[in-house]
Amino acid sequence: MLLNFLLSLVFAGLAAAQCNGNTALCGRQYSNVSFIGTHDSAFVGVLPTDNQLLSVTDQLNAGIRFLQAQTHLLNGALELCHTSCIEEDSGTLVSYLTTVNTWIAANPNEVLTILLTNGDNVDVSLFGNAMSTSGLSAYAYTPPSGLSMSDWPTLQELITAGTRLIMFLDYGADTATVPYISNEFAYYFETAYDVTDSSFPSCALDRPPGSSGSGLMMIVNHFLDLDILGILIPDELAAGTTNAVTGTGSIGAQASLCYTTWGRLPNVVLVDYFELGDVFTAQNTLNGL
């Protein structure tokens, strides 16, 4: 009786051993997992400059495991600002990373990626300082130099090693200064952003310029902008369709276009208003779950 009880505890423990919510993902290499990412994850609210309606913690609790955010320099400190800190300032990078640190500490079976933009070409040491101050550097994974797409660890390996936070910077990374902040474009290519055609008719490489894309993971910018006399704002009304699993202009439709173009699926699909549409079903479909 007692033995049965103990065994059932053991099996309950085993059954709970999931990676990013699914046991099937544990054995998958990081470079072979598709993630829905929140574009401009820190710009939360109902203004035209906002890209998300729910907070970063809500994004993580809902299942988002890839966060993208813009940084700018204000009075010597890194802040999450939209194009400029006059347009929108969502607080300090330290406060953002502290929020993420609290969440990742409480969720030990989750692998999370942060992609930051460095709009003011700030020295990477400031990003490293913010990572240390927030505590998040303790979870950071340092890719061995020259890590190729086929050599990435599995999600289980990252979880077991306690290095569950993968971090990229679009410009200005220097692993000699901060080893765990990787140059985004050494690992990924991106499709064009600021798309205003709701059918998302392309999966062509936009950055890094001149790259063939071979050997790079794939980030698809799947958020729709509305062009109002030359000013682009996120198209919230279309988000249900843009973030759908199937149909014209959906995540599924652009992902299959990517598959036709590249012979593989996107690693990351960046979206606005992630809770509109059905991004997690789309993510499961991409992952074959």
Ligand X SMILES: *[C@@H]1O[C@H](CO)[C@@H](O)[C@H](O)[C@H]1NC(C)=O
Name the amino acid, one letter, at 193. Y
Identify which of 275, 270, 180, 196 has the alpha carbon closest to the alpha carbon of residue 233. Answer: 196
Q: Is the Cβ–Cβ distance between 184 and 115 less than 8 Å?
A: yes
As measured in angstroms, the least distance from the Cβ of 283 to ligand X is 11
DSSP characters over 203-241: --EEESTT---TT-EEEEE--BEEEETTEEEE-STTHHH
Identify which of 240, 118, 237, 139 has the alpha carbon closest to the alpha carbon of residue 183. Answer: 118
Footprint on this chain of ligand X (rule: CB under 6 A): 32, 34, 264-265, 267
Residue 222 is among the residues annotated as catalytic for this protein: no
Give the residue with the Cβ less far from ligand X, 114 or 255: 255
- CA-CA distances (angstroms) from residue 3 to 11, 14, 121, 137, 252? 12, 16, 61, 42, 48
As measured in angstroms, the least distance from the Cβ of 46 to ligand X is 33
Give the residue with the Cβ less far from ligand X, 34 or 284: 34
As measured in angstroms, the least distance from the Cβ of 218 to ligand X is 7
Structure tokens at 26: 């544990």
Name the amino acid, one letter, at 55. S
- CA-CA distances (angstroms) from residue 27 to 160, 216, 265, 282? 12, 21, 18, 20
Give the residue with the Cβ less far from ligand X, 195 or 255: 255
Give the residue with the Cβ less far from ligand X, 207 or 264: 264
As measured in angstroms, the least distance from the Cβ of 267 to ligand X is 5
As measured in angstroms, the least distance from the Cβ of 66 to ligand X is 12
Q: Which of 39, 65, 72, 222 is catalytic?
A: 39
Residue 72 is among the residues annotated as catalytic for this protein: no
Q: Which of 82, 97, 112, 131 is catalytic?
A: 82
Structure tokens at 112: 């999370």
Give the residue with the Cβ less far from ligand X, 234 or 266: 266
Cα end-to-end span (Å), the chain:
37
Residues annotated as catalytic (active site), given as ranges: 39, 82
